[in-house]
């Protein structure tokens, strides 16, 4: 990751979008402040991934605006790093080749890009797999490679769509720690979509809750807990209280029985 890249605020104003005649986003507003870590939770199919595509500049809304640092940003594609829900690794490139892309696009030399990619892969437990192609990795390993690529994406605006979704519980806890550490060091503006409420509370400054489709933010919970936060903290009432608040908002939307 290039620490010289700007970390800016990201804002959605009244985003509205229908797909195939189905309203998916409905006047959705949200703001992630510069260097803030926001988690977004909501029922399956409510429109979270669609929202990230619009924020990243991959899809156009029918109405509403995306603002970066308070300004309309029609040319934002490539200025935010999106880690899609599917790992989206390039199958024709090795793991190293996939992870080197960010630094190379950012102007790093071949040597520096390779060194940065190797270091990051080692941190993600993929040392020794640099020359493997994605098809020869397990689902969890592909997810780790995709996360490594995101972190070297050269921007400090991250949109992460369930980055730990395909991982077993142990790897998930481990990589969450790596993400928290990297975020604390570099303070990228981060929007994380997750279904895991513990994960949201462990990682985020604020948790936004979406109701059922079409997506709108129906509530938010601030997580004012000190960092670093660990799995052991989850039993602390200071963690269970915001978690219960998120659950209660989800329940009030009818998303939970
Ligand atoms: N290309 C498309 N054409 C038509 N409908 C689509 C398209 N992409 C998504 N949808 C619909 O938009 C809705 C929202 O999908 P989206 O992937 O954004 O949900 P999500 O909140 O990310 O769900 P999940 O938590 O399961 O990942 C769904 O009803 C889906 O069927
Ligand atoms: Mg999704």
Q: Give the list of residues 6+ apart from residue 31 with CB closer than 8 angstroms, or none.
A: 9, 10, 11, 12
User: Does residue 237 carry a pLDDT above 90?
Assistant: no
Residue nearest to atom 28 of ligand 1 (CA): 45
**Greater confidence, 139 or 149?**
149
Q: What is the pLDDT of residues 56-65, one digit of tens each?
A: 999 999 999 9
Most confident of 62-66, 74-78, 88-92, 170-174: 62-66
Mean pLDDT, range 233-241, rounded to an integer: 87
**Mutation to probe ligand 1, out of 23, 41, 42, 45 (largest number of atoms < 8 A from CB):** 45
Q: What is the pLDDT of residues 169-219, one digit of tens each?
A: 888 898 899 899 999 999 999 999 999 999 999 999 999 999 999 989 999
44 lines ligand 1 (CB under 6 A): yes
pLDDT level of residue 241 (50, 70, 90 thresholds): very high
Residue in 187, 169, 188, 204 with CA at minimum distance from that of residue 41: 204
User: Does residue 1 carry a pLDDT above 50?
Assistant: no
| Strand ranges, E, within 69-156 | 71-72, 81-83
Q: What is the pLDDT of residues 93-120, one digit of tens each?
A: 999 999 999 999 889 999 999 999 999 9
Q: What is the CA radius of gyration of the chain?
A: 18
Q: From CA 210, how far away is CA 208, in angstroms rounded? A: 7
For 234, phi then psi, to 5°, come to -60, -25
pTM of the model: 0.94
User: By the 8 A CB rule, do 148 and 83 touch?
Assistant: no
Measured from the Cα of 47, ligand 1's closest atom is: 18
Please count the other Cβ atoms lying within 10 Å of the Cβ belonging to residue 72.
Answer: 11
Residue nearest to atom 16 of ligand 1 (CA): 47
Distance 221 CA to ligand 1 centre (A): 25
Q: Percent of the chain at pLDDT above 70?
A: 98
Residue in 140, 133, 95 with CA at minimum distance from that of residue 117: 95
Average pLDDT for the chain: 92
Please count the other Cβ atoms lying within 10 Å of the Cβ belonging to residue 231.
Answer: 12
Q: What is the DSSP letter of 215?
A: B
Residue nearest to atom 23 of ligand 1 (CA): 45
**Greater confidence, 204 or 254?**
204
Name residues with Cβ closer than 5 Å to ligand 2, which is an ion: 49, 85
48 lines ligand 1 (CB under 6 A): yes
Q: From CA 39, how far away is CA 141, in angstroms rounded? A: 23
Structural domains for the chain:
1-80+157-257 (3.40.50.300), 89-154 (no CATH)
Cα torsion angle, 194, 197, 202, 207, sign: positive
50 lines ligand 1 (CB under 6 A): yes
pLDDT level of residue 232 (50, 70, 90 thresholds): confident
160: left (phi over 0), alpha (psi -120 to 50) or beta: beta
24 lines ligand 1 (CB under 6 A): yes
């Amino acid at each position: 990751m290039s620490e010289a890249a700007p970390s800016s605020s990201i804002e959605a104003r009244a985003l509205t979008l229908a797909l195939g005649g189905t309203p998916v986003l409905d006047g959705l507003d949200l703001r992630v402040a510069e260097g803030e870590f926001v988690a977004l939770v909501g029922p399956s199919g409510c429109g979270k991934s669609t929202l990230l595509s619009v924020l990243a500049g991959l899809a156009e809304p029918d109405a509403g605006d995306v603002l970066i640092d308070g300004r309309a940003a029609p040319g934002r594609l490539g200025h935010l790093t999106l880690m899609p829900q599917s790992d989206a690794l390039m199958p024709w490139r090795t793991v190293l080749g996939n992870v080197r892309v960010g630094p190379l696009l950012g102007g790093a030399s071949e040597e520096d890009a390779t060194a940065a990619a190797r270091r990051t892969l080692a941190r993600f437990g993929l040392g020794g797999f640099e020359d493997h192609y994605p098809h020869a990795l397990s689902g969890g390993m592909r997810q780790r490679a995709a996360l490594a690529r995101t972190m070297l994406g050269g921007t400090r605006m991250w949109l992460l769509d369930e980055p730990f979704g395909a991982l077993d519980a142990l790897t998930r806890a481990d990589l969450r720690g790596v993400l928290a550490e990297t975020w604390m060091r570099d303070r990228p503006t981060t929007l994380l979509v997750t279904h895991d409420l513990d994960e949201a509370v462990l990682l985020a400054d604020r948790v936004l809750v979406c109701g059922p489709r079409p997506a709108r933010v129906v509530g938010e919970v601030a997580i004012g807990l000190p960092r670093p936060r660990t799995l052991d903290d989850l039993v602390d009432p200071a963690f269970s209280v915001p978690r219960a608040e998120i659950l209660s908002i989800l329940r009030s939307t009818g998303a939970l029985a």
